[in-house]
């Protein structure tokens, strides 16, 4: 996540860890610190993660309109990235965010919060 030398890899990992611990507000804060220094495509990617984190935080506080809005905006931005990006499984995250959006739109209980996971290793790569 720091190929341009301006992105704080430690802060990025901290944000992911907080997100996976379901500390969505804290994850948003940590990722926002990294976002401030990012540029271009990476900045937009971080913004998407932040929007998803804030959407999940809104859900945890009962702000369903805010949750729907931020998850939709974050999900839309995530669609621009490949299945694996910045060390994360974007395809899995996009599916999880879509399930959340569907549940909130239908007024049914939301699924378990998504986790930011590393992409699965390709069986072809594992053979090398």
The DSSP code sequence of 57-86 is HHHHTT-HHHHHHHHHHHHHHHTTS-SEET
Mean pLDDT of 53-62: 98
What are all long-range contacts of 26-33, with beta carbons under 8 Å and residues at least 24 apart? 27/53, 28/53, 28/54, 28/57, 33/8
At 71-110, the pLDDT tens digits run 999 999 999 999 999 999 999 999 999 999 999 999 999 9
Cα–Cα separations (whole angstroms), residue 112 to 9, 76, 115, 122: 27, 20, 9, 26
The band of 36, judged by pLDDT with boundaries at 50, 70 and 90, is: very high
Cβ proximity of 79 and 45 under 8 Å: no
Residue with tokens 């992409």: 119
> Can you tell me the distance from the alpha carbon of 32 to that of 10, in angstroms, rounded to the nearest whole number?
13
Report all structural domains of the chain as residue ranges with CATH numbers, in order of start: 9-118 (1.10.3450.10)
- pLDDT score, position 120: 81
Structure tokens at 74: 């974050």
């Amino acid at each position: 996540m720091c190929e341009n030398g301006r992105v704080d890899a430690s802060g990025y990992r901290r944000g992911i860890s907080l997100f996976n611990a379901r500390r969505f507000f804290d994850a948003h804060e940590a990722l926002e610190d990294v976002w401030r220094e990012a540029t271009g495509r990476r900045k937009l990617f971080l913004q998407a993660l932040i929007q998803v984190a804030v959407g999940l935080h809104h859900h945890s506080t009962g702000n369903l309109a805010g949750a729907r809005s931020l998850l939709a905006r974050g999900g839309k931005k995530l669609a621009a990235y490949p299945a694996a990006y910045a060390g994360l499984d974007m395809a899995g995250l996009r599916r999880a965010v879509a399930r959340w959006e569907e549940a909130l739109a239908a007024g049914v209980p939301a699924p378990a919060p998504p986790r930011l996971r590393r992409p699965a290793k390709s069986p072809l790569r594992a053979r090398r």
